[in-house]
A and B are shown apart, each in its own frame.
Chain A
Amino acid sequence: MIARLLRSEHVAGWLFVLPAVVLIGLFGIVPIGWSLLLSFQHNDLLTPPTWAGLDNYRLLNNDPVFRDSVRRTLVYTMLFVPISVAGSLAVAMLLHARIRFARFYRTAVFVPVATSTVATGIIFNWLLEPTYGVANYLLGEVGLGPYGFFQDPDQALYSIVAMTVWGWLGFDVIIFMAALQGIPNDLMEAAKLDGSGRWATFRRITLPLLSPATLFLIVWSTINALQVFDEIYVTTRGGPLQATTVLVYELFNQAFVFFHAGYAAAIAYVLFLATLVLSLVQLWIGRRSVYYTS
């Protein structure tokens, strides 16, 4: 009887998933709940925590530092997402052709994806160095600049946008190129015969057929943009004058520099909810305008 139970599919199934369940449970599910608990505590990671109720959240609501970090995050996101999605679509359309040097172009566009966020930050620190950096030199040759880039509070965030677009464009291009290759050539020829010019074909056939990929990239890029951290840590450290202190950077400071773990957890939950809501809104809008063809 026991032997039969042991050989049953139920036991087998649970044994198979056990490692995953234990690991994800311990490092995924438990922390999710614990984090919520933390957000209701005053906790400095060293001394025993005390109960805070909704204090952390109330503080968030009134904290101008927090609100500023949210504003900066939104500015960053609203620049990063359209630029990288639209830009990568344009690049993918250009690459989707049999031209000479296509492999070179593709490699050139993809290679920045291989650079880690840290390496990217270090490179751009040097590139955008106001006094000795080559960016100001080249811009000067065409009569622009010099710019402060990371060292100018008014330019720092935009410089981060440029840097991260550079680093991630290739990924989006890969996705779009795969989607473009999924469109049968027949359709393009039929459209030609139907009298559809280049722009009309793009607008009415290519774009709708790309819409699943486009939606994915918008949601994906938004989630990543809201969580940007690494590049900022390596370049501006949230400065100058907090100009690049985005939400996660503020979170990091609160948790591991000031040891306000409870407050940080509250910030994290706000981020979570905001990301969730934003993604759902995007997916809901997508439902009406995305054409799934299979």
Chain B
Amino acid sequence: MNRHSLRLPFSPRHLVLLPLSLVMLLPLAWMLITSIETLSETRHFPPHLIPAGIHWRNYPDALDAAPFGRFFLNSTIVTLASVAGNLLFCSLAGYAFARLRFFGRDVLFVALLATLMVPFQVTMIPTFLIVHDLGLVNSLGALILPNLVTPFGIFLLRQFFRTLPIELEEAARIDGCSRLGVLFRVVLPLSMPALATLGIVTFLWTWNDFLWPLIVMSSTNEYTVQLGLASFQGAHDTKWPLLMAGNMMALAPMLIVFVVAQRWIVQSLAATGVKG
């Protein structure tokens, strides 16, 4: 069973992986190249694969054309608040479901989990009405409040907490720790991997959220990065270099975070899949 078939000096996997990688990277590379070209260059067919020069002006022009700084600020506030809220409230609830015995616990848990089954599109209209009644339309609160805690996070942390040895918590209680104290002093420090996963997934999801901000925000000043980017496209439809520069600026932070923290992010995303 050992025929000497075509022997390449390298693994045949490269023959597929290399073109595939180029295809995956091409759109991003092309965005970068376009962002440093002039408008007339882009209105040229066939396109220049290598730009004539580096036209940096597109970037400050994009910043002038739309308040990207403001967009970033809004997104940052909303994302940090969501991450903090989730870490706190999902820990509290997850711990209660994992370790405390209280009336109606299991029914409540199933009910919360069941809401995961319902797509956002079902709840978005009434949620809009509720936010409207609370007077929060077009404010960052509208983006933060509905996403301060998710059943997914509660489930994730509950499952994780249950894998910790309960003796540690019992010992802490005997040593005089309150239940809250046990959670914050004993359980959470041991739960860093799960908290990191929840934090990263919440971060990614909140930063990239589009539909809900689209529904609930109406003035440019309150736009998140995603919303700002979409409206920017609407305003400067065919000014490709400008658009690509804006896109680059909006994407760059996320791309950098991704490449730097790749291992963490991959682990977190993988963990969500394994837990189903």
CB distance from A111 to the nearest CB of B (A): 7
CB of A97 within 8 A of CB of B21, answer no
| Interface magnitude class on chain B | 35 or more
Smallest CB-CB separation from B240: which chain A residue? Answer: A126
CB of B96 within 8 A of CB of A13, answer yes
CB of A24 within 8 A of CB of B115, answer yes
- C-alpha gap A156/B119 in the complex (Å): 25
Q: Within 8 Å of chain A (Cβ to Cβ): is B208?
A: yes
Q: Within 8 Å of chain A (Cβ to Cβ): is B229?
A: yes
**Stretch from B51-59, B60-68, B163-171, B244-252 forming part of the interface with A:** B244-252
**Stretch from A76-84, A199-207, A269-277 forming part of the interface with B:** A269-277
CB of B34 within 8 A of CB of A126, answer yes
Q: Within 8 Å of chain A (Cβ to Cβ): is B199?
A: no
Contacts of B88 in A (CB 8 A): 19
Contacts of A134 in B (CB 8 A): 30, 47, 49
- With contacts A31-B123, A137-B47, A268-B119 known, is A216 near B276, CB below 8 A? yes
Chain A CB within 10 Å, residue with most, of B103, B111, B247, B274: B247
Which secondary structure characterizes the binding site on chain B? Answer: helix
Q: Within 8 Å of chain B (Cβ to Cβ): is A91?
A: yes
CB of A272 within 8 A of CB of B119, answer yes
CB of A132 within 8 A of CB of B42, answer yes
- C-alpha gap A125/B120 in the complex (Å): 26
Q: Within 8 Å of chain A (Cβ to Cβ): is B235?
A: no
Contacts of A14 in B (CB 8 A): 96, 102-103
- C-alpha gap A95/B251 in the complex (Å): 26
Contact of A171 among B93, B120, B210, B269 (CB under 8 A): B269
Contacts of B211 in A (CB 8 A): 229-230, 252
Contacts of B100 in A (CB 8 A): 9, 12-13, 16
- C-alpha gap A100/B122 in the complex (Å): 48
CB of A32 within 8 A of CB of B122, answer yes
- C-alpha gap A21/B254 in the complex (Å): 32
Q: Within 8 Å of chain B (Cβ to Cβ): is A54?
A: no
Contact of B21 among A21, A35, A104 (CB under 8 A): A104
- C-alpha gap A170/B148 in the complex (Å): 27
Which secondary structure characterizes the binding site on chain A? Answer: helix
Contacts of B87 in A (CB 8 A): none
Q: Within 8 Å of chain A (Cβ to Cβ): is B146?
A: yes
Contacts of B226 in A (CB 8 A): 116-119
Smallest CB-CB separation from B250: which chain A residue? Answer: A119
Contacts of A114 in B (CB 8 A): 251, 254-255, 257-258
- C-alpha gap A24/B89 in the complex (Å): 11
CB of A16 within 8 A of CB of B250, answer no
- C-alpha gap A232/B257 in the complex (Å): 26
CB of A28 within 8 A of CB of B151, answer yes
Can you report 10 A-B residue pairs in the complex whose CB atoms are below 8 A from each other?
A10-B102, A17-B92, A31-B122, A94-B16, A110-B258, A112-B24, A112-B28, A140-B46, A217-B273, A234-B230
A residues contacting B by CB (< 8 A) are 9-14, 16-17, 19-21, 23-24, 26-32, 34-35, 38, 45, 91, 94-95, 97, 99-101, 104-105, 107-120, 122-127, 129, 131-134, 137, 140, 166, 169-171, 174-175, 177-179, 212-213, 216-217, 220, 223, 226-227, 229-230, 233-234, 248, 251-252, 255-256, 261, 264-265, 268-269, 271-272, 275-276, 279
